[in-house]
Amino acid sequence: MPLVVPGVTADNMEDNKTQEWTNKLVGKKLSEEPSSETTDLPPQTRVLPPGAIVTKDFRPDRLNVHVTEDGTVSHVTHG
């Protein structure tokens, strides 16, 4: 039987991770040079420019970093 803790679900934890990455990355510009934000990205990360073709498979541990044409992070999602 799984452990059930009121108010703590897998969805809540995923939302917390997404919010954490949103706070760290949105509005910042990603570049080729390492920075504290980009070197700490999880191994399962996709950087998605506008119009990128992506697979539709859902991976809850995968971070999707959506960037604008100039490389500025617009938003992040998990999946």
Percentage of residues in the chain having pLDDT higher than 70: 72
Instruction: Summarize the confidence of residues 12-17 as an average pLDDT.
Output: 74
Q: DSSP character for 50?
A: T
Delineate the domains of the chain, giving CATH numbers in brackets.
10-78 (3.30.10.10)
Higher pLDDT among residues 59 and 6, named by residue = 59
Query: Greater confidence, 38 or 26?
Result: 26
Would you say residue 4 has pLDDT above 80? no
Answer yes or no: are the C-beta atoms of 42 and 53 closer than 8 Å: no
Mean of the per-residue pLDDT values for the chain?
82
Q: How far apart are CA 2 and CA 65, in angstroms?
A: 32
Q: Is the pLDDT of residue 39 over 70?
A: no
d(CA 67, CA 47): 7
